[in-house]
């Protein structure tokens, strides 16, 4: 009986015929898939995608927070400074204009109501900015990739 050596090469069905025609020629082994590396590369790509989309979501949230702070500051300073100054300035004019028309409402109070209305409109403008949705849905690519992965898994069961 012949003894087997440890230098055997792996043969594929297509390479069996080649060895017969060229004895002594080494036969290449088929390439194997490194499944753990493929999975880790896949997971790394998913993590990178989630990281990019999380950064985009954070930037969007920061812009919204800045708009909210701007709304609060504008409302506070506008209400405190401009309202007081305009009330004192326009109250004598309002008293003369309202004389004999509305006796129970002093001119300064009418000015306050008018200024409150104007600033309320400004607050609604900033509120509209805060309610704006992003141009594209957040985490859109991740959601799409997860759906693709689900389909791939269901097709390859």
Name the nearest CA neighbour of 139 among 26, 35, 58, 30: 58
H-type alpha helices, 2-139: 13-21, 35-77, 83-98, 107-131
The Cα 104–Cα 122 span in angstroms is: 29
Token pair belonging to 8: 């055997």
> What digits encode the pLDDT tens for the residues 11-46?
444 444 444 445 555 555 556 656 678 888 888 888
The whole-model pTM stands at: 0.39
Domain spans, the chain = 35-155
| φ/ψ of residue 155, rounded to 5 | -75, -25
38-76 pLDDT tens trace:
888 888 888 888 899 899 999 999 999 999 999 998 888
Q: How far apart are CA 80 and CA 153, in angstroms?
A: 62
């Amino acid at each position: 009986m012949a003894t087997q050596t440890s230098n055997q090469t792996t043969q594929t069905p297509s390479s069996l015929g080649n060895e017969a025609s060229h004895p002594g020629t080494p036969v290449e082994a088929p390439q194997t898939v490194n499944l753990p590396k493929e999975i880790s590369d896949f997971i790394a790509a998913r993590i990178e995608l989630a990281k990019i989309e999380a950064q985009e979501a954070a930037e969007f949230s920061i812009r919204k927070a800045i708009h909210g702070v701007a709304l609060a500051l504008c409302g506070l300073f506008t209400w405190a400074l401009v309202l007081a100054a305009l009330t004192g300035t326009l109250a004598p004019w309002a008293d003369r204009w309202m004389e004999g028309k509305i006796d129970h409402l002093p001119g300064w109070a009418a000015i306050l109501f008018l200024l409150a209305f104007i600033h309320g409109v400004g607050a609604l403008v900033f509120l509209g900015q805060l309610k704006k949705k992003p141009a594209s849905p957040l985490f859109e690519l991740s959601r799409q990739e997860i759906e693709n992965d689900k389909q791939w898994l269901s097709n390859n069961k």
